[in-house]
Amino acid sequence: MNDASPWVDPELIAAGKLLQEKGYIVPDRTVAPLSEVRKAQDRVGAFLGEGTAPLKSERDLQLPGPHGRVPCRLYLPDDVTKPGCIIYAHGGGFMQGSLDSWDHFLRELVRQSGVAALSVDYKLSPEVKFPVAFDETVAMIRLMAREGAGLGIDPTRLATGGDSAGANLALAAAVALRDAGETKALSFLLLLYGVYTTDSESPSWQQFGRGAGLSQTQMKWIWETYLENPGQLTDVRAAPGLADLKGLPPAHLIVGSLDPLLDDSNRLAALLDKAGVANALTVYQGINHGFIRYGKLIGTARRAIAECAAALKGAIG
pTM: 0.97
Residue 213: per-residue pLDDT: 80
Q: Is the pLDDT of residue 45 over 80?
A: yes
Q: In what order do the strands lie in the sheet containing 85-89?
A: 57-65, 68-76, 116-120, 85-89, 158-163, 188-192, 251-256, 279-284
Please, are residues 115 and 86 in contact by the beta-carbon 8 Å criterion? yes
| Residue closest to 5 by CA, chosen among 296, 286, 316, 201 | 286
Using pLDDT thresholds of 50, 70 and 90, give the confidence band for residue 1. Answer: very low
Pairing mode of beta strands 68-76, 85-89: unpaired
Using pLDDT thresholds of 50, 70 and 90, give the confidence band for residue 142. Answer: very high
Please, are residues 97 and 91 in contact by the beta-carbon 8 Å criterion? yes
Q: Which amino acid is at 51?
A: G
Residue 296: per-residue pLDDT: 96
How many percent of the chain have pLDDT more than 70? Answer: 99
Q: What is the mean pLDDT of residues 175-187?
A: 97
Across-strand partners of 251? 189, 279
Please, are residues 284 and 255 in contact by the beta-carbon 8 Å criterion? yes
The predicted-structure confidence for 92-125, as pLDDT tens digits, reads as follows: 999 999 999 999 999 999 999 999 999 999 999 9
Using pLDDT thresholds of 50, 70 and 90, give the confidence band for residue 3. Answer: very low
| Residue closest to 152 by CA, chosen among 60, 81, 64 | 81
Q: CA torsion 109→154→315→178, rounded to 10°?
A: 110
First-to-last alpha carbon distance for the chain, in angstroms, is 44
Which overall architecture, per CATH, does domain 10-316 show?
3-Layer(aba) Sandwich (3.40)
Q: Is the pLDDT of residue 66 over 70?
A: yes
H helices of the chain, where?
10-22, 34-48, 103-113, 132-147, 165-179, 203-208, 216-226, 262-274, 299-316
Dump the DSSP string for 176-243: HHHHTT-TTS-SEEEEES---SS---SHHHHHHSSSSSS-HHHHHHHHHHHSSSGGGGG-TTT-GGGS
User: What is the distance between the alpha carbons of residues 96 and 39, in angstroms, rounded to a whole number?
Assistant: 9
Please, are residues 185 and 157 in contact by the beta-carbon 8 Å criterion? no
Q: What is the mean pLDDT of residues 38-64?
A: 96
Kindly report the average pLDDT of the chain as a whole number.
96
CB neighbours of 205 closer than 8 A, spacing ≥ 6?
A: 199, 216, 219, 260, 261, 263
SS (H, E, C) 197-208: CCCCCCHHHHHH
Q: What is the mean pLDDT of residues 296-305?
A: 98
Q: Could you tell me the residue ranges of all domains in the chain? A: 10-316
User: What is the distance between the alpha carbons of residues 121 and 119, in angstroms, rounded to a whole number?
Assistant: 7
| Residue closest to 25 by CA, chosen among 9, 47, 52, 7 | 47
Residue 4: per-residue pLDDT: 72
User: What is the distance between the alpha carbons of residues 119 and 203, in angstroms, rounded to a whole number?
Assistant: 33
| Residue closest to 170 by CA, chosen among 110, 249, 112 | 249
Across-strand partners of 163? 192
CB-based burial of residue 57 (10 Å sphere; 0-12 exposed, 13-18 middle, 19+ buried)? middle
